[in-house]
Amino acid sequence: MRYNVVKGAKYIIEDSEHVIKKPETHKNKWHMVFGNNNPICLELGMVRGIFIIEMAKANPNKNFIGLEIDGSQTATAVKNIGTKKLKNLKIICADASNIAEYFGKEIDTIYLTFSEPWPKNKMRKKDLLL
């Protein structure tokens, strides 16, 4: 897959109300983040968010979280959400290796499609937030 570098990704992510900045502070409390007890679905490696955004729009009675390690792809996902707030969608820019720090037993479904592990020698999130 080809990945574009988005200039200012850091600021796009910081400014978005869809993005959860410190996911570890919500472990076991994600239903409070959404303000309801609806099922929570998590996508690991959402890239530009196309799948998770469409799922959130089509299923207003479920909650969705898209997680992506790459800052540029996360910023593009934020742009793809558009200006209309999706109350049942949250975005996290983080390493899926750490999901045990972010989530307890509150996740009902995990989507893991066409995963491509992040190479150890590739730049990490902090390097891509240009």
Ligand X SMILES: C[S@@+](CC[C@H](N)C(=O)[O-])C[C@H]1O[C@@H](n2cnc3c(N)ncnc32)[C@H](O)[C@@H]1O
Interface residues toward ligand X, by CB under 6 A: 1, 44-45, 47, 51, 67-70, 73, 95-97, 113-118
Work out how close the CB of 82 gets to ligand X at its nearest, in angstroms, rounded to a whole number.
19
Q: Which is nearer to ligand X, 61 or 115 (CB)?
A: 115
Work out how close the CB of 106 gets to ligand X at its nearest, in angstroms, rounded to a whole number.
19
Q: Which is nearer to ligand X, 40 or 77 (CB)?
A: 77
Q: Which is nearer to ligand X, 25 or 97 (CB)?
A: 97
Work out how close the CB of 64 gets to ligand X at its nearest, in angstroms, rounded to a whole number.
13
Q: Please provide the DSSP assignment of 46-98 as one string.
A: -TTSHHHHHHHHH-TTSEEEEEES-HHHHHHHHHHH-SS--TTEEEEES-GGG
Residues 6+ apart with CB under 8 A from 80: 48, 49, 50, 53
Strands 40-44 and 63-68: parallel
Q: Which is nearer to ligand X, 40 or 67 (CB)?
A: 67
